[in-house]
Structure 1
């Protein structure tokens, strides 16, 4: 066995533990949020004689969730972590004592119908716990190892595959000066991501699979459609980014998080009433419902859902709800792509959906690999991949160098 192999061998056990642990935390929070969602959007409205997705109940529920989440942010130790508008996907480890408050706030977001996903809070929690436990068990190891294992395990669980984690970490590692071979650096994270993905696959039924029709061989019209849809989607995402700091300033002028999040809940309730029930929650199941019956909605209705969901996502983040933006951004892209298909039938649904998702994610995450991977996962066959690899180029030219969907500590756009 070579010295390099002997150096990697001790990583296997802690990587497995980090991966399984990351997946279990993610699944546990998701299951708890689903159980609470059943009560909030099923048992309670039935008990008071209101429709679960009536305008009245959406207003009551989202306003109440905003107020309760505000209390958590205000009073629970650690204030549920830093302002989510100022954080990215993978950040430095939090104080582990902040994790309970962060997970409680994230669970309320997921259960209450807020248009955010679980990814950012779960990543922050898993990185914090992996770093804290790993540093105590192996004090000589570099802290970056535990950050990488926590991040890889979480991404592997979220997407059900280690490939997404490898792609995300490849982008992260490309900025370091470490001359160690890339696959040596990815060894531990890939073990963690594989263990997490397998755990999630065995214990959870969440997936990004859709009911899109078969695509087959791409043609010239598909290439044109791909370039147009991905560009429009990227511009739509950029529009949200430019509005983001102004919305953040408005909500945070209220000072107290209870007031800011309650006001955010009111706005989200109004947006839910405008866009309908499919624009609520993180968007994964709602995305599947849209693709299950293509043609059920007019292009105008789909475009309305797309815009409402995007505004709701930015509003929720600006107000301070704890949650991620990848899942709702995927819904935005799906709705935009199906709207393009309904307006111009020559746009194949697969091309519209995958390029819509690609463009929105490129703008909102600024991660090329993650955007390509997520868009590709939605396709029923690999025939669309060459189109995506071409379509990503003009979209990247539109978004590169632009502000991020993230703010500095003083509330300015971050580049």
Structure 2
């Protein structure tokens, strides 16, 4: 069908605009990779080197509690006292949104590094997108007034998502639903052209720089059987319900913490609670969750049903506490760990279900509840199990599961919710 409602952009326009799109994609990946490298080095120092000086290890309970508590205190002090204040509260932001002011970028990076290295159960996606969006608008907004800030932010989001997942497909799927509401002219692929260029550049750059991959390989499902639809639905539905419950209580937990007013108080208390949870669940329930997801999938038979249930519950609570207590970070990677642990729990309890289907459905269910994006749910589920034969089943299973989550609250604290984030002293918080 021909495009009759809106004229498509010319080839010359797309080619010219693809240059900043690719540059933003490359820059977004570089920022993410530098954030990963710095936080990884600090993590190894904190968890591998320093505890040995005191006769402890990363599994020593008092060390886990101490590190998380001090991380909370450090993050709270920065949010309270340092100009920029760590940027917007990650609990109130999604993958998109208005870029923060450039002055907030240093503290966003600082609190993100501390959280990632200190074992906080949040991922790098929200802070990295905020930083990359702010940098893209600041740099390219000054070079050319012909590029709208909203488009620059979209390209930064695309580049960051491409770098996070190691493939531009994830960004393309996310923006399929978003570009329809934009003012970009032309057909769907005209609208996706620039975001896909940024995402592709971000993905390739991240892979060239040796970044982590979200792709794993499990035992293939084999021939499809009718009972797999029922089994997969049950796993995905229960996983989605866990996400819905988390989304329901999220604003209340956030409100309790922020009622304490001073960031150094409620973030330190949050760190203490995370320390207790880390002692209960062990080191595998700490950090953003991607590497720990790999540990689960490399040897799924090493954990019994009780351990997997513990991992699922502890990580879910840790995610809610970390996101509510003022730490900066995203919720997708911890949700992926939760879904993986729950999928393996289903496989341990019901061995008749293929492990690839169980993991894919476990991840898809809670990711769908957390993001309200079916494409991301399907994509992450397939990426985790590495079995393309699961795809047709997921496309059917997701339909009734979507009915469970579509009217449920989002895993985000909206501006209408009481936030009570003002510091004790008259220090103005950063605006989103």
1:319-365 CA-partner distances (Å, limit 9, x unpaired): 01000000000000000000001011112111111000000001011
The worse-fitting range, judged by mean Cα deviation, of 184-193 and 174-183 is 174-183
Match of 1:94 among 96, 100, 125: 100
- 1:281 paired to 2:287: yes
SS of aligned partner of 2:386? coil
- 1:75 paired to 2:75: no
Task: Determine the structure 2 residue equivalent to 1:161.
Answer: 167
Segments ≥4 residues shifted beyond 3 Å: 176-179
1:207-234 CA-partner distances (Å, limit 9, x unpaired): 1122421222221222111110000000
Shift of 1:183: 1.2
1:186-223 CA-partner distances (Å, limit 9, x unpaired): 11111111111001111124011224212222212221
The answer to whether the Cα contact below 8 Å between 2:158 and 2:198 also exists between their aligned partners in 1 is yes
The worse-fitting range, judged by mean Cα deviation, of 244-253 and 32-41 is 244-253
Task: Determine the structure 2 residue equivalent to 1:122.
Answer: 128
Match of 1:199 among 188, 196, 205: 205
SS of aligned partner of 1:295? helix
The answer to whether the Cα contact below 8 Å between 2:33 and 2:211 also exists between their aligned partners in 1 is no
Distance 1:129 1:240, change over 3 A: same
The answer to whether the Cα contact below 8 Å between 2:356 and 2:387 also exists between their aligned partners in 1 is no
Q: Distance in 2 between matches of 1:63 and 1:4?
A: 56
Match of 2:109 among 79, 103, 109: 103
Q: Distance in 2 between matches of 1:141 and 1:323?
A: 28
SS of aligned partner of 1:41? helix
The answer to whether the Cα contact below 8 Å between 2:171 and 2:199 also exists between their aligned partners in 1 is yes
Q: Distance in 2 between matches of 1:170 and 1:127?
A: 19
Match of 2:68 among 33, 57, 62: 62
SS of aligned partner of 2:10? helix
Distance 1:3 1:34, change over 3 A: closer
Indicate the RMSD between aligned Cα atoms, in angstroms: 1.4
Taking structure 1 as the reference length, the TM-score comes to 0.97
The worse-fitting range, judged by mean Cα deviation, of 321-330 and 2-11 is 2-11
SS of aligned partner of 2:21? helix
1:4-35 CA-partner distances (Å, limit 9, x unpaired): 11121111221121011000000001000000
1:226-276 CA-partner distances (Å, limit 9, x unpaired): 110000000000111111111111111211111111000011011111111
Task: Determine the structure 1 residue equivalent to 2:339.
Answer: 333
- 1:375 paired to 2:381: yes
Q: Distance in 2 between matches of 1:7 and 1:31?
A: 36
Distance 1:54 1:397, change over 3 A: same
SS of aligned partner of 1:66? helix
Residues 106-185 of structure 1 mapped to structure 2, 5 A cutoff: 106-176=112-182, 178-185=184-191
Q: Distance in 2 between matches of 1:402 and 1:369?
A: 18
Aligned length: 412
Taking structure 2 as the reference length, the TM-score comes to 0.93
Task: Determine the structure 2 residue equivalent to 1:46.
Answer: 52
Shift of 1:412: 5.7
Match of 2:194 among 188, 196, 199: 188
SS of aligned partner of 1:174? helix
Task: Determine the structure 2 residue equivalent to 1:28.
Answer: 34
Shift of 1:173: 1.4
> Which blocks of at least 5 consecutive residues in structure 2 are unaligned?
1-7, 420-432
1:105-141 CA-partner distances (Å, limit 9, x unpaired): 0111100001010000001110111111111011122
1:270-319 CA-partner distances (Å, limit 9, x unpaired): 11111111100011111111111122111121011011101100110000
